[in-house]
Structure 1
Amino acid sequence: MLASCSLDGCTIIWNTTTGERLVSMPKNSLSVKICRFSPNCDLLLTAGDDEKIIVWDVQTKDRKAILEGHLDSIPSASFSPDGKVIVSVSFNADFRIWSAGDYRCLYTKEDAHEYGIQSCDMSQNLEPVPNTVADTQSYLLATCGNDGLVKLWRIIIPKQSDELQLDDLEVKLWRSLHGHGGNVICVRFSQIVGEFLCSTATDRQARIWSVYGADCLFVLDHDSIVTSCAFNSDCSLLVTGCLDKTLWLWKLPQRLVFQTAVANKIHCREKSVIEWTTGDVVKWLKVIDDETTEKMINEIRWLKKRETQMEGPGNLEIPHEYLCPITHEIMREPVICSDGFTYEKNAIAEWFMSGKFTSPMTNEVLSKTDYVFNLELRNAIHNFLDGKTVSEGEG
């Protein structure tokens, strides 16, 4: 399905295969400037010059909720990737975060951009920022405005028994991206992992940014003001729309496609464990034997070690092979890469995510980005930190 909205107040849902009109939502008396589906496509939100966000049931065309509070036109809004929250922005320079369950306003950020906000988007990645606390849910929000800036915001919500504690929501400015020479009109993350970001502006440029490196990777010049943009699923193509009624289709460099595949692989590899429910863990614990139980207790003790506890016993010198070549700290999860060297898993994952595909040790291009866990070394580090090793020179 495809949803479109218009300055005439109409919102229409189309069949993308046949081009037929599927649903026409009740017409608004004022301009509708944004329409976005929920992740499961059951809901559609619309917003515009009436300063309201309307949430629709796609099947019945019924209004589920009307969200009010903005004091100016609403040019953009977005669902979180899990459909739990809604973010909306306004020309009044504020953005608001709403519960998608009971439609309460949870948070308001005033003066997020000078002179008003034009657009917002939420990363589809449910773990957008590495090394976040396990008992919280993080989202990554991008906003852009008439101050020429793109801003990335971390939305952090505590969890208790896997339930989001929405009333304790916290928002932090993560980084600001500088480069445009005019009002920034549109911002969109790449799909699935959200490792890239595209922004368009009145300076007739579209810019592609590295989310994790905070670098501008490409500047794409146009003949007119660029009003919109979107990536395809594998980041091989980017489409931009302009005020002169033209659409530009850009074929992106192969290294971006490769980097997206790497990021997706890392994302999937980490996601499987997080998908376990409490019931799954309890069921698994009931069937393991005593030997496995003992191993699991040791594993839990290991995982609960804080970074400040990752130190060797007494004044013993830490063996060089226990240190990550990237961070120069004791490794918690050592992995072997295709260059034959061992690194901390999170460190090498972030190395790849920042667009580097060379060996940190030799600077040569890696033949592949897969890695395997170095369990033997990890166990040796484990024993060393527990003081079970005998220092050299002792009989």
Structure 2
Amino acid sequence: MWRNPSQHFSAIGIRYFERHKGEVNSCTFSPDCEILLTCSDDSRIHIWNAKSGKLLSKIKGHTGPVKAGCFSPDCTLFASGSHDCTVRVWKTATTECLHVLRGHSKSVETVCFSPDSRQLLSAGWDRTAILWDIQVGCKLKIFSGHDDVIQSSAFSPNAPYLATGSWDYTVKVWNLKTEGQAKTLAGHKGNISCVCFSVSGMLASGSWDRTVRVWNPLSGALIFLLDGHLGWVKSLSFSGDGMLLATTAYDEMVRIWDCETGTCIKILEGILEPAHACTFTPDGALLLSGPIDHK
């Protein structure tokens, strides 16, 4: 975990969280930056004190690798998606399982909450995305149209849109207010592994083609093509103000991009394994990456 009090991304220290017994597939901070959630191939979810690094809880329930996890924006809940084909919704305060959501026929690869914390999207190997009502644990809508695995998803923070990224090389942008067809963003030459909206309305997608594309999601226009990674792009995260974009790939480095110019302003090295996940804290002062060496 890289501390950056000066906003210049000088790496003055790394803290390791070393208790998982499998690859770390997902890591995310709670909105208040107090808690860190990590999900692993060891079928476990770990809850950490983000400041001290103390392991607060080992959460069991899934019967297969946990592929994705996320907190609700109001921090009262967190969700996890697993290779066991289920989505679980948990209470943050007690880690009690609130709902076990069944509806996918294959592995769940991605989960994300709506900005109002009332809905959850899940998607995966069955090529469908399911929108859930979290209050009662029921399906609201099923999104179909991708021709291959859906590995990533994201809600827009300030518009009624969500995005899904697929192994069919496309990103689809869905309007939650209409029943019309999704807008398809094409151009990548490999599987889409990650998508993320910024507060300013941009949409970024990372791919196995080693590039990151930044789009205007409404028009479908390409804003930037970010080229520089030497391996598959695995994860990306906008800073809270939308001015920076962090990307990780199978090249043992994290790249930081200026979202006004599309230039790489910093390469964070010192990661000895490919990083599966990265995320900014909301204030942009910390950047966390989760590599495959279980840390």
2:96 corresponds to which letter in structure 1? Answer: D
Larger radius of gyration: 1
2:166 corresponds to which letter in structure 1? Answer: G
Whether 1:188 aligns to 2:196 is: yes
- Give deviations 1:87-129, integer Å, cap 9, x for gaps: 111211111111111011122233x21122111111111xx2x
Tell me how far apart the structure 2 counterparts of residues 97 and 248 of structure 1 sit (CA, whole Å): 32
Tell me how far apart the structure 2 counterparts of residues 220 and 255 of structure 1 sit (CA, whole Å): 7
Tell me how far apart the structure 1 counterparts of residues 140 and 233 of structure 2 sit (CA, whole Å): 33
Aligned to 1:90: 124
Aligned to 1:175: 183
Whether 1:123 aligns to 2:130 is: no
Whether 1:73 aligns to 2:107 is: yes
Alignment match of 1:233 (pick from 226, 237, 240): 240
Matches within 5 A, 1:297-376: none
- Contact 1:237–1:250 (Cα < 8 Å) also in 2: yes
Aligned to 1:210: 216
Per mean C-alpha deviation after superposition, the further-off stretch among 16-25 and 222-231 is 16-25
2:254 corresponds to which letter in structure 1? Answer: L
**Quick check: which one's strand share is greater?**
2
Aligned to 2:173: 152
- Contact 2:173–2:184 (Cα < 8 Å) also in 1: yes
The alignment covers a number of residue pairs equal to 228
2:103 corresponds to which letter in structure 1? Answer: G
Whether 1:113 aligns to 2:146 is: yes
> Would the alpha carbon gap of residues 50 and 255 (structure 1) be closer, same or farther in structure 2, given more than 3 Å must change?
closer
Tell me how far apart the structure 1 counterparts of residues 126 and 90 of structure 2 sit (CA, whole Å): 25
Alignment match of 1:34 (pick from 33, 58, 68): 68
Report the 3-state secondary structure (helix = DSSP H, G, I; strand = E; otherwise coil) of the residue aligned with 2:196: strand
Aligned to 1:140: 161
Ranked by relative contact order (alpha carbons within 8 Å, sequence separation 6 or more), the top structure is: 2
Shift of 1:190: 0.8
Whether 1:253 aligns to 2:260 is: yes
Shift of 1:179: 1.1
Aligned to 2:37: 3
Which consecutive unaligned segments of at least 5 residues does structure 1 have? 129-138, 157-169, 257-395
Shift of 1:218: 1.1
> Would the alpha carbon gap of residues 18 and 251 (structure 1) be closer, same or farther in structure 2, given more than 3 Å must change?
farther
**Quick check: which one's helix share is greater?**
1
- Contact 2:230–2:250 (Cα < 8 Å) also in 1: no
Tell me how far apart the structure 2 counterparts of residues 118 and 100 of structure 1 sit (CA, whole Å): 21
- Contact 1:76–1:90 (Cα < 8 Å) also in 2: yes
Tell me how far apart the structure 1 counterparts of residues 146 and 260 of structure 2 sit (CA, whole Å): 32
> What CA RMSD, in Å, does the superposition of the two structures yield over aligned residues?
1.9
Tell me how far apart the structure 2 counterparts of residues 243 and 154 of structure 1 sit (CA, whole Å): 32
Aligned to 1:356: none
Tell me how far apart the structure 2 counterparts of residues 81 and 123 of structure 1 sit (CA, whole Å): 8
Tell me how far apart the structure 2 counterparts of residues 84 and 146 of structure 1 sit (CA, whole Å): 28
1:115 corresponds to which letter in structure 2? Answer: D
> Would the alpha carbon gap of residues 45 and 197 (structure 1) be closer, same or farther in structure 2, given more than 3 Å must change?
same
Report the 3-state secondary structure (helix = DSSP H, G, I; strand = E; otherwise coil) of the residue aligned with 2:214: strand
Q: Taking structure 2 as the reference length, what is the TM-score of the superposition?
A: 0.73
